[in-house]
A and B are shown apart, each in its own frame.
Chain A
Amino acid sequence: MNVLDIRGLTKKFGEFVAVDNMSLTVREGEIFGFLGANGAGKSTTINMVSSLLRPSSGEIRILDRDITKQSRFAKLNLGIVPQDLAIYEDMTAYENVSFFAGLYGLRGTQLKERTEEALEFVGLSDKAKSLPKNFSGGMKRRLNIACAIAHKPKLIIMDEPTVGIDPQSRNYILTSVRNLNESGCTIIYTSHYMEEVEEICSRIAIVDHGKIIAEGTKEQLKSTITDVKDIRIEVKSAQPAAAGVLKAIPGVRTVLQEENVIRIHSDAAVDNLNRILKQLMDDGMEIRSVEEKEPNLETVFLTLTGRNLRD
């Protein structure tokens, strides 16, 4: 069964097209990765799925029912972890979860049990009576997640749930996502960190400028770029002009420079490593290390868009 079906979805803000004729299917039991740079249109898509924004055109179905025609059904089966924290600072962690779960009609002992369960799940049971204003960023994110899962939705959408938090909380969240999935939830996981997406997602869609530019398992995605090699060169005191010169070398497709690290995507079929290194040395740069990396999602993204995911 398809948990989420998006057909020809478009959202315009005035002239600007934030989501452009997008179609997408998420099947039951998946952890679906929604990968894209900032501003790609991920949150806008999610806001339309959660009925917060009205699509300019297109159709959205949750569990095979149209969300505008059966909005209550759609909302009851959906759990949203918003990108921007949506918790009440003046309510305790327990009250926050209990409040949001109550919006879905839970009351009494059931509400109490589900609230405790959700807090337990994100590891905040011992903080149940504390106010979130004393929480760390990671704890707030976890509370944000607890608020979305207490009513046991079929589909949980997490919009960048790991933005700006410590590695420990991040690992905790990634583990929770897997556990949730094992307990039967379908999950859409939105991020612009490809390591995360690569680690937990069974299927991935890459979004750029409101369009899905690639979709599939990570193996499928990587196999589309076997013709590209990913070279990483670390130098001492890189020259700002290095990139332009390197692009002129045959076979080189893209050059990215981050401080003293130069990343080059080049045609796998062309042997040009010597020329590249010579060029750098001629320009007075001292080479510290050279590495040819396995293609990963970032390589895929870079190849498809010519841009780095983090820009």
Chain B
Amino acid sequence: MWKDIWFLVIRTLRATFRKRSTMILYFGLPIAGILASLLLYGSQGATELRVGVVNGDDGQTIAADTVQFVQGLDHVKVVNVTQQELQDQLAASDLDSGLIIESGYSESVRSGSPDHIAIQSVKGAQVTAYMKSMLYGYIDNVAAMGRISAGNDAKFQQLYDRYRSADFKVTSESVNDTSTTKEMSYQSIGFLLMFMMTSAVSLSELILKNRENRTYFRVLSSPINARTYVMANILMNLIVMLAQIVIVLFFMRVVFRIDPGMPVAQMFGILLLFSLVSVSISLVIVAFSKSTAMAGALSNLIVTPTCLLSGCFFPISIMPDAIRRVSDFLPQNWVLQSIEKLQSGEGFAGVWFNLSILFAFAVVFFLIATYKFGRNNDTRNFV
């Protein structure tokens, strides 16, 4: 039987992927999805964080350098303001955040215990978190030099000069923006989920198409039985999705060098599990359709809207509560949630529950499809 299945799989794949347009549809689009994510988050990252600086520690090198450091950060624009202007412009949202350096700041850093510096924002932690973490890293470094030199001015100057000339750029570059690449990879996966689902449906649809062009019945009059035939279809479907996953992860990691912020192997595992869900959903669609046209319509009704609601196209956090509750019933959301959790540093143990849910989705849909196939009149008539 496995020989028969394999024969069917190879021959069908060869016929399906003969056309270049099919190749593009199945593998080009997911890659385009990565590109789209790059653009989406690349341009969003470019929107600048406007920082108002009140420098009350005039004439001090460290204070001036600190301001310059902030200015040198990616996507940050610095304007010098007075205390009053800062309050007004923050309130008016002309500024995203404020950096207040008070007199005595440079001295405190130099002595090893930084003080007299504050960050203000009206938008809350999220906006300033990036700048804050970068800035505090910088201040900590300088303060450490102050502690090491223990009041020795010459020694501090030596350390500080070296730091300014060498490490400065390295720091601001290497930390760059993992949060952005996380979002990019998250988004790429979101698109991939949709492309996996659409390709699964169109490959399962071959069952209907071959029923319409009669080859299905011709095959069944050979020693191949219906079960072998459907299993070959499922296997072929899984192989195509596996290829999609591998190609997308390869392009994401190796070609575009996007750091997903989690092990790629874990991503691969989750996506593989989703490919099972995807096949089972496509089988349900096919089981409830009388023709390829109907399957196409059903798939349009199901795939895109559920992808939308489960956050495949944009983060679910921006959607209202009611919709978020709906997304609990959508398998794509469980994939994306798992990825989010793993990206935020939770171990694989933290997503076991999500993975079980995904597996349960696959099982339930398979059962529904099997039940419906069994009840379909034409398959009952046909042995």
Do A and B bind?
yes
Q: In the assembly, what is the distance between CA of A86 and CA of B215, in Å?
A: 5
- Cβ of A75 and Cβ of B221 under 8 Å apart? yes
Q: Which residues of A have CB within 8 Å of B20?
A: none
- Cβ of A95 and Cβ of B214 under 8 Å apart? no
Within 8 A of B (CB), among A83-97: 84-91, 95
Q: Given A82-B214, A89-B213, decide whether A52 and B223 contact each other with a Cβ distance below 8 A.
A: no
- The chain B residue with its CB closest to the CB of A49 is B221
- Pick from B16, B218, B381: contact of A147, CB below 8 A: B218
Interface residues of B, count at CB 8 A: 23
- Cβ of A105 and Cβ of B223 under 8 Å apart? yes
Q: Given A52-B383, A53-B383, A88-B15, decide whether A100 and B222 contact each other with a Cβ distance below 8 A.
A: yes
- The chain A residue with its CB closest to the CB of B11 is A99
A129 within 8 A of B: no
- Pick from A75, A89, A91, A95: contact of B223, CB below 8 A: A75
B18 within 8 A of A: yes
- Cβ of B214 and Cβ of A86 under 8 Å apart? yes
A193 within 8 A of B: no
Q: In the assembly, what is the distance between CA of A250 and CA of B224, in Å?
A: 59
Q: Which residues of A have CB within 8 Å of B221?
A: 50-52, 75, 78, 80, 82
A102 within 8 A of B: yes
Q: In the assembly, what is the distance between CA of A88 and CA of B8, in Å?
A: 13
Q: Mark B77-92, 1 if CB is under 8 A from A, else 0.
A: 0000000000000000
- Cβ of A103 and Cβ of B15 under 8 Å apart? no
Q: Which residues of A have CB within 8 Å of B219?
A: 100, 103
A194 within 8 A of B: no
Q: In the assembly, what is the distance between CA of A303 and CA of B222, in Å?
A: 39
A243 within 8 A of B: no
Q: In the assembly, what is the distance between CA of A95 and CA of B217, in Å?
A: 18
A7 within 8 A of B: no
B220 within 8 A of A: yes
- Cβ of A54 and Cβ of B381 under 8 Å apart? yes
Q: In the assembly, what is the distance between CA of A162 and CA of B213, in Å?
A: 18
- The chain B residue with its CB closest to the CB of A144 is B218
Among B4, B14, B217, B224, which residue has the most Cβ atoms of chain A within 10 A?
B217
- Cβ of A91 and Cβ of B15 under 8 Å apart? yes
Q: In the assembly, what is the distance between CA of A86 and CA of B18, in Å?
A: 20
- Cβ of B382 and Cβ of A53 under 8 Å apart? yes
- Cβ of B224 and Cβ of A103 under 8 Å apart? yes
A76 within 8 A of B: yes
Interface residues on A, range: 20 to 34
Within 8 A of A (CB), among B322-377: none
Q: In the assembly, what is the distance between CA of A138 and CA of B208, in Å?
A: 26
A278 within 8 A of B: no
- The chain B residue with its CB closest to the CB of A104 is B222
Q: In the assembly, what is the distance between CA of A75 and CA of B219, in Å?
A: 11
Q: Which residues of B have CB within 8 Å of A86?
A: 213-215, 217-218
- Pick from B15, B16, B18, B218: contact of A100, CB below 8 A: B218
Q: In the assembly, what is the distance between CA of A52 and CA of B224, in Å?
A: 12
Q: In the assembly, what is the distance between CA of A105 and CA of B3, in Å?
A: 9
B7 within 8 A of A: yes
Q: In the assembly, what is the distance between CA of A103 and CA of B19, in Å?
A: 24
- The chain B residue with its CB closest to the CB of A50 is B221
- Cβ of A88 and Cβ of B215 under 8 Å apart? yes
Q: Given A52-B382, A52-B383, A95-B15, decide whether A102 and B217 contact each other with a Cβ distance below 8 A.
A: no
Q: In the assembly, what is the distance between CA of A228 and CA of B149, in Å?
A: 129
- Cβ of B217 and Cβ of A52 under 8 Å apart? yes
- Pick from A50, A85, A99: contact of B214, CB below 8 A: A85
A275 within 8 A of B: no
Q: Which residues of A have CB within 8 Å of B214?
A: 82, 84-86
A236 within 8 A of B: no
- Cβ of A88 and Cβ of B383 under 8 Å apart? no
Q: Mark B1-41, 1 if CB is under 8 A from A, else 0.
A: 00110010001001110110000000000000000000000
Q: Which residues of B have CB within 8 Å of A103?
A: 4, 7, 219, 222-224
Q: In the assembly, what is the distance between CA of A147 and CA of B217, in Å?
A: 13
B208 vs chain A, min Cβ distance (A) = 15
A56 vs chain B, min Cβ distance (A) = 11
- The chain A residue with its CB closest to the CB of B8 is A103
Q: In the assembly, what is the distance between CA of A112 and CA of B103, in Å?
A: 90
- The chain B residue with its CB closest to the CB of A51 is B383
For this complex, 5 residue pairs linking A to B, each with C-beta atoms less than 8 Å apart, are A84-B214, A86-B218, A91-B15, A104-B223, A147-B218
Lowest 4 CB-CB distances: which A-B pairs, in order? A86-B218, A103-B222, A50-B221, A86-B214
Residues of chain A having any CB pair with chain B under 8 Å: 47, 50-54, 71-72, 75-76, 78, 80, 82, 84-91, 95, 99-100, 102-105, 147
Given contacts A52-B217, A52-B382, A76-B223, 15 further A-B contacts (CB under 8 A): A51-B221, A51-B383, A53-B382, A54-B383, A80-B221, A82-B218, A85-B213, A87-B215, A88-B15, A90-B15, A90-B18, A100-B222, A103-B7, A103-B224, A104-B223
Residues of chain B having any CB pair with chain A under 8 Å: 3-4, 7, 11, 14-16, 18-19, 213-215, 217-224, 381-383
